[in-house]
Chain A
Protein backbone atom coordinates (compact mmCIF):
# COMPACT_ATOMS: atom_id res chain seq x y z
CA UNK A 1 0.00 0.00 0.00
CA UNK A 2 1.06 3.55 -0.61
CA UNK A 3 0.34 6.87 1.04
CA UNK A 4 1.00 10.42 -0.10
CA UNK A 5 1.43 13.47 2.11
CA UNK A 6 1.24 16.98 0.80
CA UNK A 7 2.69 19.05 3.58
CA UNK A 8 0.95 22.33 2.78
CA UNK A 9 -2.81 22.53 2.40
CA UNK A 10 -2.67 26.14 1.17
CA UNK A 11 0.11 28.20 -0.36
CA UNK A 12 -0.45 31.91 -0.97
CA UNK A 13 2.11 33.42 -3.33
CA UNK A 14 2.55 36.71 -5.14
CA UNK A 15 2.52 36.87 -8.91
CA UNK A 16 5.95 36.35 -10.48
CA UNK A 17 7.32 34.83 -7.27
CA UNK A 18 8.58 31.24 -7.16
CA UNK A 19 6.53 28.47 -5.60
CA UNK A 20 7.34 25.02 -4.26
CA UNK A 21 4.73 22.43 -3.36
CA UNK A 22 5.97 19.61 -1.21
CA UNK A 23 5.04 15.97 -1.64
CA UNK A 24 6.30 12.98 0.29
CA UNK A 25 5.22 9.42 -0.25
CA UNK A 26 5.45 6.12 1.52
CA UNK A 27 5.51 2.82 -0.32
CA UNK A 28 6.91 -0.67 0.10
CA UNK A 29 7.27 -1.01 -3.68
CA UNK A 30 8.62 1.08 -6.54
CA UNK A 31 6.21 3.72 -7.73
CA UNK A 32 5.41 6.04 -10.56
CA UNK A 33 4.86 9.65 -9.47
CA UNK A 34 2.48 12.27 -10.83
CA UNK A 35 1.38 15.84 -10.28
CA UNK A 36 -2.10 16.86 -11.40
CA UNK A 37 -3.71 20.30 -11.40
CA UNK A 38 -7.39 20.98 -10.85
CA UNK A 39 -8.80 24.35 -11.86
CA UNK A 40 -12.09 25.43 -10.26
CA UNK A 41 -15.03 23.27 -11.30
CA UNK A 42 -12.91 21.15 -13.60
CA UNK A 43 -11.39 17.69 -13.65
CA UNK A 44 -7.73 16.85 -13.20
CA UNK A 45 -5.11 17.70 -15.76
CA UNK A 46 -1.74 15.98 -15.78
CA UNK A 47 1.12 18.42 -15.11
CA UNK A 48 4.02 16.00 -15.20
CA UNK A 49 5.05 12.49 -14.33
CA UNK A 50 8.10 10.52 -13.30
CA UNK A 51 8.31 7.04 -14.78
CA UNK A 52 12.09 6.47 -14.93
CA UNK A 53 15.33 8.11 -16.01
CA UNK A 54 16.28 11.67 -15.10
CA UNK A 55 15.04 12.65 -11.66
CA UNK A 56 14.25 16.20 -12.81
CA UNK A 57 11.02 16.17 -14.73
CA UNK A 58 9.66 19.08 -16.73
CA UNK A 59 5.95 19.46 -17.27
CA UNK A 60 3.47 21.81 -18.82
CA UNK A 61 3.01 25.50 -17.93
CA UNK A 62 6.61 25.90 -16.73
CA UNK A 63 6.36 23.45 -13.84
CA UNK A 64 9.06 20.96 -12.91
CA UNK A 65 9.50 18.39 -10.19
CA UNK A 66 12.42 16.48 -8.75
CA UNK A 67 12.24 12.89 -7.62
CA UNK A 68 14.37 12.17 -4.57
CA UNK A 69 14.35 8.47 -3.83
CA UNK A 70 16.28 8.66 -0.56
CA UNK A 71 13.89 11.26 0.84
CA UNK A 72 10.85 9.72 -0.88
CA UNK A 73 9.86 13.13 -2.13
CA UNK A 74 8.57 14.59 -5.38
CA UNK A 75 8.38 18.35 -4.87
CA UNK A 76 6.83 20.56 -7.53
CA UNK A 77 8.32 23.94 -8.43
CA UNK A 78 7.72 26.89 -10.68
CA UNK A 79 10.18 29.79 -10.81
CA UNK A 80 7.60 32.48 -11.56
CA UNK A 81 3.86 32.02 -11.08
CA UNK A 82 0.98 33.69 -12.90
CA UNK A 83 -2.51 34.51 -11.71
CA UNK A 84 -3.72 31.66 -13.93
CA UNK A 85 -1.78 29.17 -11.78
CA UNK A 86 -4.36 29.59 -9.03
CA UNK A 87 -5.68 26.06 -8.63
CA UNK A 88 -5.45 22.93 -6.52
CA UNK A 89 -2.48 20.66 -7.07
CA UNK A 90 -2.48 16.96 -6.31
CA UNK A 91 0.50 14.66 -5.96
CA UNK A 92 -0.17 10.99 -6.69
CA UNK A 93 1.64 7.65 -6.90
CA UNK A 94 0.92 4.31 -8.45
CA UNK A 95 2.52 0.93 -7.94
CA UNK A 96 4.89 0.12 -10.83
CA UNK A 97 4.12 -3.56 -10.79
CA UNK A 98 0.40 -3.54 -10.08
CA UNK A 99 -1.75 -4.45 -13.05
CA UNK A 100 -4.31 -1.79 -12.42
CA UNK A 101 -2.00 1.20 -11.91
CA UNK A 102 -4.48 2.82 -9.58
CA UNK A 103 -3.54 6.20 -8.18
CA UNK A 104 -3.19 7.11 -4.53
CA UNK A 105 -3.60 10.84 -4.05
CA UNK A 106 -2.34 13.32 -1.50
CA UNK A 107 -4.75 15.71 0.15
CA UNK A 108 -4.03 18.50 -2.30
CA UNK A 109 -2.39 21.92 -2.03
CA UNK A 110 -4.44 24.98 -2.88
CA UNK A 111 -2.31 27.66 -4.54
CA UNK A 112 -3.60 31.21 -4.47
CA UNK A 113 -1.63 33.63 -6.61
CA UNK A 114 -2.03 37.25 -5.56
CA UNK A 115 -1.38 40.25 -7.82
Chain B
Protein backbone atom coordinates (compact mmCIF):
# COMPACT_ATOMS: atom_id res chain seq x y z
CA UNK B 1 0.00 0.00 0.00
CA UNK B 2 1.36 3.38 -1.02
CA UNK B 3 1.79 6.11 1.57
CA UNK B 4 1.19 9.31 -0.32
CA UNK B 5 -1.13 11.98 0.97
CA UNK B 6 -2.78 14.98 -0.58
CA UNK B 7 -4.56 17.87 1.07
CA UNK B 8 -7.07 19.31 0.64
CA UNK B 9 -9.14 16.63 -1.06
CA UNK B 10 -11.75 19.17 -2.14
CA UNK B 11 -11.39 22.94 -2.46
CA UNK B 12 -13.74 25.60 -3.81
CA UNK B 13 -12.08 28.97 -4.13
CA UNK B 14 -12.74 32.35 -5.70
CA UNK B 15 -11.00 33.74 -8.76
CA UNK B 16 -7.74 35.50 -8.03
CA UNK B 17 -6.96 33.64 -4.82
CA UNK B 18 -3.64 31.95 -4.17
CA UNK B 19 -3.81 28.25 -3.39
CA UNK B 20 -1.34 25.56 -2.45
CA UNK B 21 -2.05 21.87 -2.85
CA UNK B 22 -0.01 19.77 -0.48
CA UNK B 23 1.53 16.39 -1.26
CA UNK B 24 3.60 14.26 1.07
CA UNK B 25 4.97 10.74 0.81
CA UNK B 26 6.56 8.60 3.49
CA UNK B 27 8.25 6.06 1.23
CA UNK B 28 11.50 7.97 0.76
CA UNK B 29 10.91 8.12 -2.98
CA UNK B 30 13.20 10.44 -4.86
CA UNK B 31 10.88 11.10 -7.80
CA UNK B 32 7.59 12.94 -7.47
CA UNK B 33 5.01 14.08 -9.99
CA UNK B 34 1.89 16.19 -10.43
CA UNK B 35 -0.73 15.13 -12.96
CA UNK B 36 -3.80 17.10 -13.99
CA UNK B 37 -7.03 15.39 -14.95
CA UNK B 38 -10.12 17.17 -16.19
CA UNK B 39 -13.39 15.29 -15.51
CA UNK B 40 -13.72 12.28 -17.76
CA UNK B 41 -10.44 12.97 -19.48
CA UNK B 42 -6.97 11.47 -19.48
CA UNK B 43 -4.17 12.45 -17.15
CA UNK B 44 -1.43 14.83 -18.17
CA UNK B 45 1.90 15.36 -16.45
CA UNK B 46 2.37 19.01 -15.42
CA UNK B 47 5.39 18.87 -13.08
CA UNK B 48 7.97 16.41 -11.88
CA UNK B 49 10.99 16.27 -9.63
CA UNK B 50 13.95 13.90 -9.50
CA UNK B 51 14.93 14.93 -5.99
CA UNK B 52 15.46 17.83 -3.62
CA UNK B 53 15.87 21.16 -5.42
CA UNK B 54 14.98 19.54 -8.75
CA UNK B 55 11.79 20.55 -10.58
CA UNK B 56 10.82 20.27 -14.24
CA UNK B 57 7.83 21.17 -16.36
CA UNK B 58 5.79 18.28 -17.67
CA UNK B 59 4.18 17.57 -21.00
CA UNK B 60 1.18 19.84 -20.40
CA UNK B 61 1.81 23.52 -19.86
CA UNK B 62 0.54 24.75 -16.52
CA UNK B 63 0.47 28.11 -14.77
CA UNK B 64 1.13 26.39 -11.47
CA UNK B 65 4.53 26.15 -9.81
CA UNK B 66 6.10 23.53 -7.57
CA UNK B 67 8.93 23.28 -5.09
CA UNK B 68 10.95 20.39 -3.64
CA UNK B 69 12.75 21.51 -0.51
CA UNK B 70 12.35 18.19 1.28
CA UNK B 71 12.31 14.70 -0.16
CA UNK B 72 8.90 13.89 1.22
CA UNK B 73 7.12 17.10 0.27
CA UNK B 74 6.11 18.40 -3.20
CA UNK B 75 3.56 21.24 -2.97
CA UNK B 76 1.86 22.80 -6.00
CA UNK B 77 0.93 26.50 -5.98
CA UNK B 78 -1.36 28.63 -8.10
CA UNK B 79 -0.64 32.32 -7.49
CA UNK B 80 -3.94 33.54 -8.92
CA UNK B 81 -6.61 30.91 -9.48
CA UNK B 82 -8.92 31.11 -12.50
CA UNK B 83 -11.96 29.03 -13.51
CA UNK B 84 -9.82 27.38 -16.18
CA UNK B 85 -7.77 25.83 -13.35
CA UNK B 86 -10.78 23.82 -12.21
CA UNK B 87 -9.60 20.22 -12.37
CA UNK B 88 -8.39 17.26 -10.37
CA UNK B 89 -4.72 17.31 -9.43
CA UNK B 90 -3.04 14.01 -8.68
CA UNK B 91 0.29 13.74 -6.92
CA UNK B 92 2.47 10.67 -7.40
CA UNK B 93 5.86 9.33 -6.41
CA UNK B 94 8.23 6.56 -7.44
CA UNK B 95 11.46 5.01 -6.34
CA UNK B 96 13.27 1.82 -7.12
CA UNK B 97 13.21 -1.44 -5.26
CA UNK B 98 13.35 -5.01 -6.40
CA UNK B 99 9.70 -5.59 -5.60
CA UNK B 100 7.96 -2.62 -7.13
CA UNK B 101 10.40 -1.73 -9.85
CA UNK B 102 9.73 1.68 -11.32
CA UNK B 103 6.15 1.73 -10.12
CA UNK B 104 4.47 5.08 -9.67
CA UNK B 105 2.11 5.41 -6.72
CA UNK B 106 -0.67 7.97 -6.64
CA UNK B 107 -2.36 9.97 -3.94
CA UNK B 108 -6.14 10.26 -3.77
CA UNK B 109 -6.22 13.54 -5.64
CA UNK B 110 -7.23 17.11 -4.92
CA UNK B 111 -10.37 18.39 -6.59
CA UNK B 112 -10.08 22.12 -7.23
CA UNK B 113 -13.05 24.26 -8.26
CA UNK B 114 -12.48 27.94 -9.02
CA UNK B 115 -15.60 30.06 -9.09
Q: Give per-residue flags for A35-55: 1 if the beta carbon is below 8 A from chain B beta carbons, else 0.
A: 010000111111001010000
The 8 Å CB contact of A107, one of B42, B56, B108, B111, is: B42
Chain A positions within 8 Å of B109 at CB level = 41-43
Given known pairs A100-B31, A102-B33, the reply for A32 and B106 (CB within 8 Å) is no
Nearest-neighbour CB distance to chain B for A109, whole angstroms, equals 11
Q: What separation, in Å, do the CA atoms of A41 and B88 have in the docked complex?
A: 9
Which B residues touch A34, using CB under 8 A? 103-104
Give Cα A13–Cα B46 distance, bound, in whole angstroms.
34
How far apart are B84's CB and chain A's nearest CB, in angstroms? 21
Nearest A residue to B102 by beta-carbon distance?
A: A101
- The minimal Cβ–Cβ distance linking A98 to chain B, given in whole angstroms, is 9
Place the interface of chain A in its size category.
20 to 34
Which residues of B lie under 8 Å from residue A110 when comparing CB positions? 40
Q: Does B12 contact A (CB under 8 A)?
A: no
Whether B107 lies near A43 (C-beta < 8 A) is yes
Name B68-106 residues within 8 Å CB distance of A: 90, 92, 94, 101-106
**Of the candidates B45, B107, B111, which one forms a contact with A103 in the assembled complex, judged by CB atoms under 8 Å apart?**
B45
Distance from B59 Cβ to chain A, minimum over Cβ atoms (Å): 8
Residues of B within 8 A of A (CB): 6, 31, 33, 35, 40-45, 48, 50, 56, 58-59, 90, 92, 94, 101-109, 111
27 A-B contacts (beta carbon < 8 Å)? A36-B106, A41-B109, A42-B109, A43-B108, A44-B43, A44-B90, A44-B92, A44-B106, A45-B106, A46-B103, A49-B103, A51-B101, A51-B102, A90-B42, A100-B48, A100-B56, A101-B31, A101-B104, A102-B33, A102-B45, A102-B48, A102-B58, A102-B59, A103-B45, A103-B92, A106-B42, A108-B42
